[in-house]
Amino acid sequence: MDVGAYRNGVKAYTPFFLHCYDLLVIGIFTRYFWQCEGQRYIDIYRRHAGRRHADIGVGTGYFLDHAGLDEGRQQIALIDLNPNCLRHTAQRLQRYVPECHVRNAFEPIVIGGTVDSICIGGLIHCAPGTMRDKGRIFDAIAPLCAPGTTLFGYTLLGKDAPMSWYARALMGFMNWLKVVDNRDDSLDALHAELSQRFSQVEVWLVGCNAFFTAKNHKDATR
């Protein structure tokens, strides 16, 4: 798979679109099309973000911004293939003085150490290929994982999730544009890929979204 395929999922994230993203995607698409309130995403951060946290596929940083993490002690690493997203999110989260790293999430992610928590949010449904292909993302985070590191996140499913006709039409259009690639992504396939790499896995469905947590990355415990 060439780097151009990876970039299809990030090409829409121009500076202009990032300024519209919170209203359009979080305010309208997420609530009315994907049937999931923004508070669900904020809550998963509040429950699982550790002191040393890495965000992979940062979007605009909306949910991390609203999670209410301790500014005095929080360390945040922002990781994305798109420099536009990194700049936008770093400015939004400047009170945390985040580190920014341009990385391809399909290749080993090395930033100089391990972290307490990792969030992969909004990346998996943008990544190309089948869920088996996307499982390589969970391999790529191995350098970030210590035995106690918690992975959490969410992804939009294209299969075996409740979906209205207008949500299905929007998702089909986004797949046609190649800004998402999730037609065959299912909850069972996500669970299978996580379970190959972590010894403790939980996945659950909210609207069209799969939320997940995972602990004890098998590479980190060797």
Convert 35-92 into a string of H (helix), E (strand) and C (coil).
CCCHHHHHHHHHHHCCCEEEEECCCCCHHHHCCCCCCCCCEEEEEECCHHHHHHHHHH
Confidence at residue 54, expressed as pLDDT on a 0 to 100 scale:
98
Confidence at residue 220, expressed as pLDDT on a 0 to 100 scale:
61
Rg of the chain taking only CA atoms, in angstroms: 16
Give the residue ranges of the chain where pLDDT is below 70: 1-10, 220-222
**What's the predicted TM-score (pTM) here?**
0.93
Helix or strand run (H / E) with residue 195? helix 187-197
Confidence at residue 217, expressed as pLDDT on a 0 to 100 scale:
86
